[in-house]
Structure formats: structure tokens, C-alpha cells
Structure 1
């Protein structure tokens, strides 16, 4: 896929997720078939540029191009400065966050809260585009503030007039959070009116759903978020299905074990021992939730204080699943994609709206 002048493997993008899409996760998803991975959002507050968290979020060492960095804020000048700061440090695409529904973001009138102030949206977009000439600037939004205030089409027009090069739309309003179903009709309307690429986001949890969303919206690309947590191979599954119409078999136990262990090593190296162990816990939980004995395993694993103990617990858990050559079965329901044990006695994990 040619996207903003970059040749991508495919049109499957990793959604920016705070606390999730760090460099190890982005690199893993690209290895597993994602064409593009957008960083977790970086603050536009220059006072925080020197913080360990912000520096980690801006760390792209060894990352496969193109490097896409998402910035968040509500002040046009600060957003422009943030764009320049990140481009100077390697960003090749700057993405603007106007889609995050989190209360702590919206309370400072950033993220999806900005959709309530269309003139401010225009000022921010123009400031960022003008700040980094030659660097593509993209925008991620929701369909509107609430169900009676859907203004995605208005935002599209503002974005195009401001020089935004692509638009990602999560098919929910800010008020919806992650509840209900994604509004693919709204994304389709945006795509029909757009002169720039449109990326569809929301509830894309299986290869079949990916095909259905592309057909329903006409979108140029798909953005996948929560469905990739603990399941980064979803990108190769979707890529294969879109290309052939056939589903890949689920990964074998041995492969999942190997992917998780390699991911953990990257996390320990990236964050250091203490933070690495803490960050690893949520990823281990995502990889194992829904598998036989996982609830007791996660409870015990979350008490382990060291890398060695954490790794040993992971090894013991996967060895206890049985023959490493076996496949794990999946639930194909869009709202509950994930793992189940082979006798279907454990409920699968759900809530996978991107």
C-alpha cells in the first residue's frame, strides 16, 4: 500500500493506545503483519519533554519506518511546538489525537473533547501542518461528541482545508466510550465525501469482520487496537484472509509461548527491571486470559517481584497447557474475540472495541 508517500506492507494499522503501543509492542505488531503502527500519544506540554515517560514514548530506536507519532493537546502553539520537537527526533508522520475519550484528557479539552469546538480544531490543525512542512500530518477523531452531535463530516472539511493528509475515524462518539457498536455508516459517509485517505477504526476483531468493515465503509485502511492486545498475530490473520479469503489456523501453544517470551525480553530491556516487571504483567494477562487456569495464574503472577520469577511462571503456565504443538481455538464472535480452552469450558475475554 502507498500511504502518504510511504510503501507499506498492507493497509492494517495499529491504533495508538496509551500505555500499550510502546516501542516493543509497535515493533512486535509490525513483525506480525501490521503495515503501520502509531505511537501512544505524546504530550504537547514542553515542560514534560524531559520526563522518563515522555522520553520513552518518543523512543523509536531501531523501529521500522515510517515512524508515526501521535501528539495530544489543546493549544495550537504548543501542538505546533510538539510536532516540530517530534519530527526533529525522527517522526516521519505526525498524528493529532482528537479521538481519546478518557476523562483526564477531555477535562483539559484535549482528545475528543476538541470536537465540541470546531474553530479551535481548525486552528490546531493549521498550526501543526504549518509547523512541519514536508511531514505528513494526520488526524484521528470520533464520529462526534454524542449521538445528537455527530460532526465527523464537518471535521473532515476542516481537516482537508487545513492540509491534513489522512483521517482515522473511530466509529463511536466521545460519549459512547467503548460501549455499543461502531457506526460504520458514519465512516462510510466520511469516506464518500473525502478527498484524503480514510482509516476505519472500531470493533475490528476478526478477519471476517475486517473484510466486512472494508466492504461497508470503503475505507482505505483499517486501524486495530484492543483486539491486538495479547494477540498481535491478528494482523497476519487479517492480511492472509483479505488476500486469499481463507483463514489461517490459530497459532500453536509453542508459538504463543515464544512470542510472549520475546515480548517480555523487549519490555525488560526497554523499561528496565522494576518498571519492566510491572508493565509486563498486563501483557501477560492479555496473552493468557481465557485459557485454562489463567485466572489463578494471573493472580499469582501479579504478586511476583522479579524477572526470573515472572519468566518461570510464564514457562510453567504454557507447559501445563499440554503439548506445545497443539493449536488453541478461538471464538469468532466480533464482540468476544480471543482464546478459549479446547473444551469450551472457560469464557473468552470480550470488550475488544479498538
Structure 2
């Protein structure tokens, strides 16, 4: 049984990675429904929380059905991270996660996210400031290192465990790699197999199928998998992986009804939570994957992306179901 503090996550949990402008409550809702065991909010700026920035505060929204859930924060100042943690405590998540992995330039140049990978001593101090500011379990998500010449994840894991973190998620790339090339899981396995390490180690990077999930589980011995980009517009991946682990069989892909209904549910929550204009806009990134593999879908994808009001998008989704169901029936 994998546990983070007192949180039980089952034998081999599947985690939804925190993704900026993706891992919001509407997206998390459909992922939870489809088998995600632990989820995190989008990362939240410690400075933004202290300034009471509206966008940062809105990211604190969590719901009972999501539990267990972690709120992820980032920053490069010890005092700000401690103050942000105190604010997070009020919302009563199950854990607090620290982002030391975001490679985006606007975050890195502020000495936060993956920018902290250049200074392990600072990383330790920031982590310690968060641990001291909460009774909740504290976890960390990070990368192998800043670049090829500074893959320091083994030292990082030991030192962060020593100051009190309860789990570590490792993306198998350096900051310099961004999301390019193949994730290197060999160093993740070294951390997991280090006799000094006694906290759960979760691997992240390139898990995009049940087959690869099982291969990496067996080859690298991690305690669970964190899935990010492969879940965008395809929340079914969590249950597909679990089914493959249990039976060795590959579930058929979601049918058209499943895709349309899940897209509708996602859209409805998005509009309710963000308002019509922003809710419609931020759904656009998901449609390509929701309907991937359907021949001649491009005109409908264009209409979904260009739809300017909720009802227009719903009408297009209904039309998608009618048109492509008829085509599939004709092809039987």
C-alpha cells in the first residue's frame, strides 16, 4: 500500500500531473471520474497568493469529490513560500506540493520552478520553510537537474527527504530539455532503489499507453506513475492503464457517445466555473484529443474552436454525435 503521510493511495497509484492552464477543476473532474487516484491543482504563485491575485486565489478551489488532492505552489523566496503555505492550509487540501520542475521561462527567470535546480541549498531551504508552515504532508515535483552536466536528482531526493517531504515525483528530463527528447527513467530508478530513500517515488514522463505504463512499472520499480500530457482530452487513460494491469487486455477506445458526453461535461463545468467566455476559450485545447482518430473531423474541430457561445458549442457537439454515428453505422 502506497501512503503519503496518512493518505492511502492503493497498491500502485496513478497521479494526474499538475499542468498550468490545464489541471483546473473541470479537467480534474473528468480525470477523477475515469480513474485518477491523486490529483493536484495547477501551480500557484506564492507571491500571487500573498498579493491576493484573483487568478491565484481561484486556483485554490478544490472540491470534496476530488479528494485526495494536493495544492501545488511555487516561488523562490522562503518567507513568501511559508506565507503562501499558511494561506493554502485554510482551504484544507490533503497535501501541499512544491513545484521545482516547471521549465517555462517566465517562471524560471523569477528563480522559481525548475530555476531552483541551479541551487540545491535554496531548494532545501524553500522546502523546509513549507514543511515548517503546515501539518499537512508536503511533497515535491521536480526534474533530473538543470542540464546534462547537473543531473543532481539523487542528492536532491536525499536532502529533501531529510527536511521532511513525504513523497517525490520526478520528471525524467532536465530543464534544458523542456519536453523534448525521451525521458530518462534510469535516474528515477536509482532514486527509488537508494537504500536511504523511504518515501514514495513517482515517475513522470512519456507515459502515453497502458503498455508503456506496465513496462515502466516493471522496469523501474517506482511506487506509482504521474501522467500529464497524455491525459489532455483523453481522461480515459487512467482506467485503461488499470484495466491492462489487472487483465493484460487493452480496453477498446471510448466510443463516440463517451467522447461527446465527456466533452460536454467538461465544457459545462468549465463555463460554470470560469464564466462563458473564458470557459469556452480554455476548452479549445482539449477538442483535438477528445476526437482524435475520427476521419474528416477537421471542419467540426474548427467549429468547436471558433464557437463563441455555450449553446453554439453544445449544438456542434450534438451534430458531431449525429453525423459521425451515422457514418460509423453506414460503415458497419
Kept in 1: contact 2:49–2:87 (CA 8 A): no
The superposition leaves residues 81-124 of structure 1 with CA deviations (integer Å, 9 ceiling, x where unpaired) of: 11111111122200000011111111111111101101101110
Partner deviation per Cα, 1:234-254 (whole Å, 9 max, x = no partner) = 000001111222211111111
TM-score normalised to structure 2 length: 0.93
Could you tell me how far 1:299 is from its partner in structure 2? Answer: 2.5
Q: Which residue of 2 aligns with 1:347?
A: none
Q: Could you tell me whether the CA contact under 8 Å between 1:98 and 1:115 is conserved in 2?
A: yes
1:254-313 CA distance string (max 9 Å, x none): 111111111111111111111111112222233124432333323333222111111111
Q: Is the 8 A contact 2:28 2:66 kept in 1?
A: no
Match for residue 3 of structure 1? 3
Aligned to 1:128: 130
Q: How many angstroms does 1:222 deviate by? A: 0.2
Secondary structure in 1 matching 2:150: coil
The 1:256/1:300 distance shift into structure 2, 3 A limit, reads closer
Q: Distance in 1 between matches of 2:185 and 2:49?
A: 39
Instruction: Give 1:350's aligned residue.
Output: none
Q: Equivalences for 1:108-127 in 2 at 5 Å?
A: 108-127=110-129
Q: Which residue number in structure 1 is paired with residue 320 of structure 2?
A: 317
Report how far residue 21 of structure 1 moved: 0.5
User: 2: distance between equivalents of 1:269 and 1:80?
Assistant: 32
Structure 1 unaligned blocks of 5 or more: 327-341, 343-354
Q: Is 1:148 the counterpart of 2:149 in the alignment?
A: yes
* Structure-1 separation of matches of 2:65 and 2:83: 23
Indicate the RMSD between aligned Cα atoms, in angstroms. Answer: 1.8
Output the CA distance in 2 between the equivalents of 1:77 and 1:324.
60
Structure with a larger share of its residues in helix? 2
Structure 1 residues 324 and 25, CA, compared in 2 at 3 Å: closer, same or farther? farther
**Structure 2 residue 117 is the aligned partner of structure 1 residue 83:** no
Deviates more, 1:1-10 or 1:121-130: 1-10
How far the C-alpha of 1:46 sits from its partner, in A, is 4.7
User: 1:81 & 1:142 partners in 2: Cα distance?
Assistant: 25
**Does 275-284 or 221-230 show the bigger shift?**
275-284
Matches within 5 A, 1:289-304: 289-304=292-307
Cα distance in 1 for partners of 2:218, 2:179 equals 22
Give how far 1:204 is off. Answer: 0.3
1: distance between equivalents of 2:49 and 2:262? Answer: 37
The separation in 1 between residues aligned to 2:105 and 2:64, in whole angstroms, is 34
Q: 1:323 to 1:189 in 2, by over 3 A?
A: farther
Deviation, 1:318, is 3.0
